[in-house]
A and B are shown apart, each in its own frame.
Chain A
């Protein structure tokens, strides 16, 4: 009787589990396996006169030997180096200002979160008017702040300012996410720690450096890693606004892969690029689990 019941349960369970497994297999596992396979071939996007054949590590060698790849990689690093402090600094500041109870909290929280719910396409539309040359609002603002010393620039069309411009709009759009995570992190800090600090006569700033900042270790690691992974995957705003230009100044890894696959139409080459991107992301995740495991604050709590 009991075994009968169990086998029947398993059948229902199988029926409930199968749709997810089939879809995961079809749209994640199989394409990923195909991607690995294609990375070692010279497959073009459309069937051509040259038969597809196995080429070993040639695609990887060519990518790692190409200036365009390293330029894109450097751009992603530069972007991270600019976007992480900008985005996380503002996010932490807002989270600290919003921490605790106040009547206006809900209102300000909603306002701060608005950019995050704004679709990237819309962000691109709005920010390109802000970037207008010579009389866009950013040029006007910088020139007013510097008493006219600032010469108006063609933000998105100048190789020196295109990546900083992409950084500004990306930080503006995504910062609500970091703010919410910081708010959750701040709420997890025990009030006892602050009381102890108050008894020791700690001032506002030393309370921040001695209690708040060290307690946010795990939150900081999480935010750092997530932001780094998002930076590695930077694409939409670049594709809409600059197509990687001018002079590759805003080319990114995903844009490089996209261009190899769909513009130059070398699928094998693009797949090899995708695998390199995948390995980079795995590396960042590995760093995450390593750092959170070695954390002394986490062991105490």
Chain B
């Protein structure tokens, strides 16, 4: 019994040490964002002072959010939020409908089609970025929200995930509804969507995280403040010769806050979503 207790103690000590190691950078981020100048942030960076802020100020936040800001940060943030919501909603709709038809349809070749779609997952985004840019130019959609939304809506990974989730629903339920005269659209809407809340949550979380992080594609496909995302705004504090540490810190905290809120509220779903991608192996 004492042995077990000492093991438990050791485990807790180890866990606490690991957590401390992991959160230190995030604590420094939050603390630094409240320091007045970039000189103060840098001077304090190497000691315990990095964790202290004797005179907390919101001036960095005022600088990036206020009307005098050199980058319209709020606009960039709103752009990201808009692209994220648009993509998530369309992905949930388009990918789930496709998965449903590929699972419950009766036409020949649907298994082959699912196989081909799943195989497309192997194509890395980086491989097709240049041709996608040509295409967007030809379609006249560069520097819009659409150019940041449409390429990610139909995703082999999410179609596959929906297919996996939907195949857990007993097909007898769908067949009973079919006999009652319900069409596939109705069966999909009334039975498959309501029964698959976790699937919708999983895809929404994975896609939401991916979209909030989008960097290279928007950098290439947009070029005005009107459509560029928050990642590009933060990187811009960074690009010049003197790094604007104070603004970069405040901007980073602004970018973290919404994810932190969603994560703390839906922690279980976040972790379940990530492990569900392992089903693919």
Secondary structure type dominating chain B contacts = helix
List, in ascending order, chain B residues with CB within 8 A of A35's CB.
127-128, 130-131
Determine if A126 and B281 form an interchain contact, defined as CB atoms under 8 angstroms apart. Answer: no
| A107 to B, closest residue via Cβ | B19
List, in ascending order, chain A residues with CB within 8 A of B14's CB.
93, 97
Q: Within B128-157, which residues are at the interface with A (CB < 8 Å)?
A: 128-132, 134-135, 150-154, 156
Determine if A130 and B22 form an interchain contact, defined as CB atoms under 8 angstroms apart. Answer: no
- In the bound complex, CA of A26 to CA of B135 (Å): 9
Determine if A121 and B46 form an interchain contact, defined as CB atoms under 8 angstroms apart. Answer: no
Give the residue among B43, B129, B251 with the most A Cβ atoms within 10 A. Answer: B129
Determine if B15 and A32 form an interchain contact, defined as CB atoms under 8 angstroms apart. Answer: no
B275 to chain A, nearest CB (A): 5
One of B25, B249, B255, B270 near A130 (C-beta < 8 A): B25
One of A93, A110, A121 near B264 (C-beta < 8 A): A110
Determine if A113 and B97 form an interchain contact, defined as CB atoms under 8 angstroms apart. Answer: no
One of A34, A184, A233 near B131 (C-beta < 8 A): A34
One of B42, B101, B248 near A125 (C-beta < 8 A): B248
Pair count A-B, CB < 8 A: 257
Determine if B97 and A20 form an interchain contact, defined as CB atoms under 8 angstroms apart. Answer: yes
Known contacts A13-B107, A31-B128, A222-B281: does B22 contact A285 (CB below 8 Å)?
Answer: no
One of B11, B120, B275 near A97 (C-beta < 8 A): B11
Interface membership of A206, Cβ < 8 A: no
Determine if A24 and B235 form an interchain contact, defined as CB atoms under 8 angstroms apart. Answer: no
A301 to chain B, nearest CB (A): 15
Determine if A125 and B184 form an interchain contact, defined as CB atoms under 8 angstroms apart. Answer: no
- In the bound complex, CA of A117 to CA of B274 (Å): 11
List, in ascending order, chain A residues with CB within 8 A of B170's CB.
none
Query: Which of A50-58, A77-85, A191-199, A234-242 is the interface stretch?
Result: A234-242
- In the bound complex, CA of A28 to CA of B97 (Å): 19
Interface membership of A262, Cβ < 8 A: yes
Interface membership of B194, Cβ < 8 A: no
Known contacts A23-B94, A240-B235: does B135 contact A31 (CB below 8 Å)?
Answer: yes
Interface membership of B9, Cβ < 8 A: no
| B234 to A, closest residue via Cβ | A121
| B229 to A, closest residue via Cβ | A121
Query: Which of B55-63, B64-72, B211-219 is the interface stretch?
Result: B211-219
- In the bound complex, CA of A140 to CA of B117 (Å): 51
- A residues with CB within 8 A of B: 6, 8-10, 12-13, 16-17, 19-24, 26-32, 34-35, 38, 90, 93-94, 97-98, 102, 104, 106, 108-130, 132, 135-137, 139-140, 172, 176-177, 180-181, 183-184, 218, 221-222, 225-226, 233, 235-236, 239-240, 254, 257-258, 261-262, 267, 270-271, 274-275, 277-278, 281-282, 285, 288, 292
Q: Which 5 A-B pairs give the minimum distances between C-beta atoms?
A: A20-B98, A135-B46, A23-B154, A34-B131, A31-B128
Other A-B pairs beyond A35-B131, A121-B231, A135-B43, 16, CB < 8 Å: A9-B106, A16-B188, A23-B94, A29-B120, A32-B123, A94-B15, A109-B267, A118-B26, A121-B213, A125-B238, A139-B46, A218-B281, A225-B281, A236-B215, A277-B126, A278-B127
